[in-house]
């Protein structure tokens, strides 16, 4: 079981309120991603749940048991750190067995569990090496192995993939998702990468300046962002946010339209000059200096033969435009 409930959890460092007060409920077996820009408090929130930071107020319950004042060791949570945080003086085998040793498990049971974890993570042939002799991806696997042997109530991941190169990041991302399918244990994953958030999460928690901006499934956040912050943060390339006269025409302070929801055709109401075109093969991203709208990103499918200086007309797809009020919140 791994149900985690936060009630008005606060954290301040000196006079700075990093987290002014958060309420959040994480269901058993859920894959929850905390996402937000640097300094939004997502790592602090994870560390509060882990018990590595003391909450300045509020309460944290794990499976209904009050855990706010429990030390990390007593919370039955396992954590995978960005730096892997392996014990450099121990072999891979001893690293993975460490939590079991701390739990007082017999050497025989330890060996069984370590072998099992090593098999799941393809680490069997590295068990007698030291962390220093492993590549980044292998180290990350060891860190995950150390987490899974304990059979914790929940896994906490603190930006675990940000030290890996792009290709490895994608494959580790899939491995972690598969691990979640297999283990069905609650996972809380912190990242600043919205692609990781979108691809892995059952539920995304978007954080900004220590506050929750929106909680929802990836598609909910994509389809109906609660405010301009979420609208701009979720989705790649970013949603175009347009202020001014055009927005006023739609009765809003700001209107938003995603690059993939703009069609190029000659009878479109908007007009602009192509500033930059990025050809990815499958898609072409056009940066367009649009008259009266500012710079917009337009996503065209496949290869499009448009270049810097070309003038185009384009139109938002019907029903895809989002409207936001003066407080930044979405209008119905």
Partner 1 sequence: MARKVSTRRKLAFTAAAWAVALIIFFPVLWTILTSFKTEASAVASPPEFLGADWTLENYVEVWGRSDYPRFFWNSVVISVGSTLLGLLIAIPAAWSMAFVPGKRTKDLLMWMLSTKMMPAAAVLIPMYLLFQWTGLFDTRIGLVLALMLMNLPVIVWMLYTYFKEIPGEILEAARMDGANLRNEIIYVLTPMAIPGIASTMLLNIILAWNEAFWTITLTTVDAAPLSAFIASFSAPQGLFYAKLSAASTMAIAPILILGWFSQKQLVRGLTFGAVK
* CB of 64 vs partner 1, minimal distance in Å: 21
Task: Quote the tokens at residue 137.
Answer: 């991806």
178 close to 19: Cβ distance less than 8 angstroms:
no
Q: In the complex, what is the shortest distance from the CB of residue 92 to partner 1, in angstroms, rounded to a whole number? A: 14
Residue 109 CA: distances (Å) to CA of 96, 105, 113, 152: 13, 7, 6, 17
- Dist. CA 204–CA 17, nearest whole Å: 23
Note whether 222 binds partner 1 by CB under 8 A: no
User: What's the CA gap between 43 and 78, in Å, rounded?
Assistant: 15
Nearest to 193 by CA among 18, 37, 30, 32: 37
Shortest Cβ 82–partner 1 spacing (Å): 8
**9 in contact with partner 1 (CB under 8 A):** no
DSSP state letter for 11: E
Of 14 and 319, the one with the shorter C-beta distance to partner 1 is 14
**Residue 151 CB, nearest approach to partner 1 (Å):** 12
Could you tell me how far CA 39 lies from the centroid of its own chain?
14
Least gap, CB of 89 to partner 1 (angstroms): 5
Q: For the range 296-302, what are the long-range contacts, defined as Cβ-Cβ under 8 Å and sequence gap of 24 or more?
A: 296/240, 296/242, 296/257, 296/259, 296/262, 296/270, 296/272, 297/237, 297/238, 297/240, 297/259, 298/259, 298/262, 298/264, 299/237, 299/258, 299/259, 299/260, 299/262, 300/264
| Least distance between partner 1 and beta carbon 85 (Å) | 4
- Near partner 1 by CB under 8 A: residue from 60, 78, 226, 274: 78
Whichever of 155 and 270 has its CB closer to partner 1, that residue is 155
Find the shortest distance in angstroms from Cβ 97 to partner 1: 10
Query: Is residue 79 near partner 1 by the rule CB under 8 A?
Result: yes
User: According to the binding rule CB under 8 A, does residue 77 interact with partner 1?
Assistant: yes
Which residues are paired to 274 by β-bridges?
288
Is residue 229 part of the contact set for partner 1 (CB under 8 A)?
Answer: no
Nearer to partner 1, 179 or 330 (CB): 179
The CA distance from 243 to 290, in Å, is 13
Region binding partner 1 by CB under 8 A among candidate stretches 27-35, 74-82, 210-218, 286-294? 74-82
Q: Which stretch binds partner 1 (CB under 8 A): 25-33, 48-56, 191-199, 260-268?
A: 48-56
Q: Is 50 in the site for partner 1 (CB under 8 A)?
A: yes
Q: Measured from the CB atom, is 43 or 194 closer to partner 1?
A: 43
* Beta carbon of residue 228, minimum distance to partner 1 (angstroms, whole number): 35
Q: How far apart are CA 96 and CA 113, in angstroms?
A: 9
**Which residues in 96-155 contact partner 1 (CB under 8 A)?**
98-99, 101-103, 146, 150
Q: Does 88 bind partner 1 (CB under 8 A)?
A: yes
Which stretches of the chain bind partner 1, using CB under 8 A?
50-52, 71-73, 77-79, 81-83, 85-89, 98-99, 101-103, 146, 150
């Amino acid at each position: 079981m791994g149900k985690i409930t936060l009630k008005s959890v606060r954290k301040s460092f000196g006079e700075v309120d990093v987290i002014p007060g958060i309420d959040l409920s994480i269901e058993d077996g859920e894959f929850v991603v905390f996402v937000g820009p640097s300094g939004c408090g997502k790592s602090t929130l994870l560390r509060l749940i882990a018990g590595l930071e003391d909450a300045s107020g509020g309460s944290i319950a794990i499976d209904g048991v009050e855990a706010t004042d429990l030390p990390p060791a007593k919370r039955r949570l396992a954590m995978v750190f960005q730096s892997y945080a392996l014990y450099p003086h121990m072999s891979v085998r001893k690293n993975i067995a460490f939590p079991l040793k701390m739990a007082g498990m017999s050497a025989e049971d330890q060996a069984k569990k370590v072998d099992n974890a090593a098999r799941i993570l393809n680490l069997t042939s590295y068990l007698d090496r030291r962390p220093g002799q492993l590549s980044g991806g292998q180290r990350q696997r060891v860190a995950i192995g150390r987490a899974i042997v304990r059979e914790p109530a929940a896994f906490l991941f603190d930006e675990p993939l940000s030290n890996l190169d792009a290709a490895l990041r994608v494959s580790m991302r899939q491995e972690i998702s598969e691990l979640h399918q297999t283990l069905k244990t609650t996972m809380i994953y912190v990242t600043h990468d919205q692609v990781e958030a979108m691809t892995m999460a059952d539920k995304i928690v978007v954080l900004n300046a220590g506050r929750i901006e929106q909680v929802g499934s990836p598609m909910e956040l994509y389809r109906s962002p609660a405010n301009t912050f979420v609208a701009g943060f979720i989705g790649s390339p970013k949603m175009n946010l347009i202020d001014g006269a055009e927005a006023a025409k739609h009765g809003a302070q700001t209107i938003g339209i995603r690059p993939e929801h703009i069609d190029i055709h000659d009878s479109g109401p908007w007009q602009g000059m192509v500033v930059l075109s990025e050809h990815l093969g499958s898609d072409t991203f056009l940066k367009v200096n649009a008259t009266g709208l500012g710079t917009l990103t337009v996503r065209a499918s496949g290869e499009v033969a448009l270049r810097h200086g070309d003038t185009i007309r384009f139109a938002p797809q019907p029903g895809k435009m989002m409207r936001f009020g003066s407080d930044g919140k979405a209008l119905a």
